[in-house]
Structure 1
Amino acid sequence: MSVQTEIQRIQTARNTLRTKAVELKISSGTEKLDELAEDYNGITNQGSITAQVKEGETYTIPKGYHDGTGTVSGVSGGGSYNLQSKSVTPTKKPQQVTPDGGYYGLSDVTVEAIPTQYQDASSVTATAGDVLTGKIIVTADGSVTPGTMTNNGAVKKTLDTTTKSYTIPTGYHDGKGGVSITTEEKTATPTKSPQDITPTTGQVLSKVTVEAIPAQYVDTHDANAAAGDILTGKSAYVGGAKIDGSMPNNGDTTGTFDGLSTESYEIPAGYTSGGSVRLTSDIMDALASI
């Protein structure tokens, strides 16, 4: 016999029990087998009940199983009847309230208020996903439902230059977790080449201190010298560029002119460390011979 056949057989038997349970008014007709077993187990075995009623009155046959040998008979001529007052508290299962032995019947039955643990759940809006795993609620239709919300507890994550974001997982967090970064500060001195200032692995730069330009690096933006202004063999930086000098170095320059055939002396272009230009004695000699 296949599993499917067995399941169908059990379902057929369950449906038969449900139909009979509805007929006996002990079930709504939707219970599972274990619940049906509880319903049938709750049927009171009344056995053989014998009762007497006063003329003009009726007797309510108590709910439950009767073995068919009991009788109900009338008492003629009236008389004094010993009646019992009873109270009952509502439960999840139907109850039969009957007089105790020695009583002819019930004079009244007081139904107490529904106990406080039985709440009207019709306004409940929470579902399984709204309740922590391991916890249980009763939904609006009265069903006992276990929660499915994940309990993440204290979630902690450290971000860095590799892990730049973190997706917070769905579920409950106890408020003790957190997302953080580990920061560090670094210092750099300017150099002639570009520098990449990067954080240590697992950390994030919070500040980079760039030191002052070293003393040997002078701001040359306002220099205006040209190659001709600088001695040959010397160099200088102008506007950030190095310039080699082209000015001739004439050193100690000395010259003469006679005042007769030459009336001046032309000093050569370039640098001179000093020297002199003098008039020769030709004029004096010429005057002396007149």
Structure 2
Amino acid sequence: MSIQTEITRIQSARNTLRTKAVELKISAGTERLDELAADFDGILNQGSVSAQVKEGETYTIPKGYHDGTGTVSGIAGGGSYTLQSKSVTPTKKPQQITPDEGYYGLSDLTVQAIPEAYQDVTAVTAAEADVLATKVFVDSAGAVRTGTMANNGAVTKTLDASTPSYAIPQGFHSGSGTVSITPETKSATPTKEVQTVQPSAGKVLTTVTVQPIPAEYITTADADAAADNLLAGRTAYVAGEKITGTMPDNGAMDATLDGLSVTSKVIPAGYTSGGTVALGGEIEEALAAI
């Protein structure tokens, strides 16, 4: 015989003992063989137990094994039965109500109201708006109420320039909804006119790249010319400001010096297009006569 066959046979016998032990109320039905042996060994052998009781009396059958030959018989008492009236208070566990010793049975049984400790709901703070719609609860007064909280489920919203915010509706949210934006990047080149860079419909600008200033708009911050450095009527930009020149335009300037009575020529301030200053024949003739 294989070991596995023996193990199966022993397990089958153990399960039979477990079933009987549960039936006899001496086991929970999960014990090992040695524990089951101890359980069965603990059964008292009461043998043959016999007793006589009078009307109105009870006899408690002792716990243990009875061989089946014992008897319990009654003694006639003339039909006088003493019954007991009892009252019990509900508890969280089952109760078995029996008459006290000396009573034949119960004449009536009064079950008191559920104690306040078992029905105290005064600590409840939930109101209809705190409980999901159609769900039922008991309020602090013990009254049955139905919730009114809206079940919004998964709420999804996309924000853009025309809708920069979203009002979250009151109620329950499943936690799987999202509020999001569609990002967009744009590029702009400076111009002489003001530009407003706006996102495309349904999008939100995240970055705007401003290109370098074009060559025709080059900075004049390092220019140092002044109005009197420019010809009258001419204009220029200096340090970002437009200036108009004041320098006179003297045109072509010529002069003849005779070396005797005219020995110099005053050059006026301003621009000249060129010219000549020369000695006249007088000085040559004077020199030749010496």
TM value normalised by structure 1: 0.53
When the two chains are superposed, the root-mean-square deviation of aligned CA atoms in Å is 4.5
Aligned equivalents of 2:210, 2:225: Cα separation in 1: 31
Q: Could you say what secondary structure the match of 2:152 adopts? A: coil
Amino acid at match of 1:136: V
Runs ≥4 residues deviating over 6 A: 80-83, 88-91, 107-111
Query: What are the within-5 Å matches in structure 2 for residues 1-290 of structure 1?
Result: 77-78=77-78, 105-106=105-106, 121-221=121-221, 223-231=223-231, 235-238=235-238, 239-241=240-242, 243=244, 247-248=248-249, 250=251, 253-267=253-267, 269-272=269-272, 274-290=274-290
| Residue identity opposite 2:262 in structure 1 | T
Distance 2:186 2:271 in 1: 50
Contact 1:235 1:245 in 2 (8 A): no
Q: Which amino acid aligns with 2:225?
A: A
- For this pair of structures, how many residues does the alignment match? 203
Percentage identity across aligned positions?
Answer: 57
Distance 1:247 1:184, change over 3 A: farther
Q: Which moved more, 1:235-244 or 1:131-140?
A: 235-244
* Conservation of the 8 A alpha-carbon contact between 2:248 and 2:271: yes
Instruction: Report the 3-state secondary structure (helix = DSSP H, G, I; strand = E; otherwise coil) of the residue aligned with 2:129.
Output: helix
Residues in 1 aligned to 2:80 and 2:151: alpha-carbon distance in whole angstroms: 68
State the Cα distance separating 1:222 from its structure 2 match.
5.3
Deviation at 1:89, TM superposition (A): 11
- Residue 224 of structure 1 deviates from its aligned partner by 4.7
Letter in 1 for 2:160: D
Q: Partner of 1:180: helix, strand, or coil?
A: strand
Instruction: Determine if contact 2:157/2:178 at 8 Å carries over to the other structure.
Output: yes
Per-residue CA deviations over 1:95-114 (Å, capped at 9, x if unaligned) read xx999xxxx74499798xx8
**Is the alpha carbon distance of 1:163 and 1:235 closer, same or farther for their aligned partners in structure 2, counting shifts above 3 Å?**
same
Q: Displacement of 1:132 after TM fit?
A: 0.7
Tell me how far apart the structure 2 counterparts of residues 222 and 205 of structure 1 sit (CA, whole Å): 36
Unaligned runs of 5+ in 2: 1-54, 57-75, 92-96
Show structure 1 runs of 5+ residues with no match: 1-53, 56-75, 92-96
Alignment-mate amino acid for residue 153 of structure 1: G
SS at 1:216's partner residue?
A: helix
Q: Deviations over 1:212-256 (max 9, x none)?
A: 3222223334545345433468542234215367642635x5533
Query: Normalising by structure 2, what TM-score?
Result: 0.53
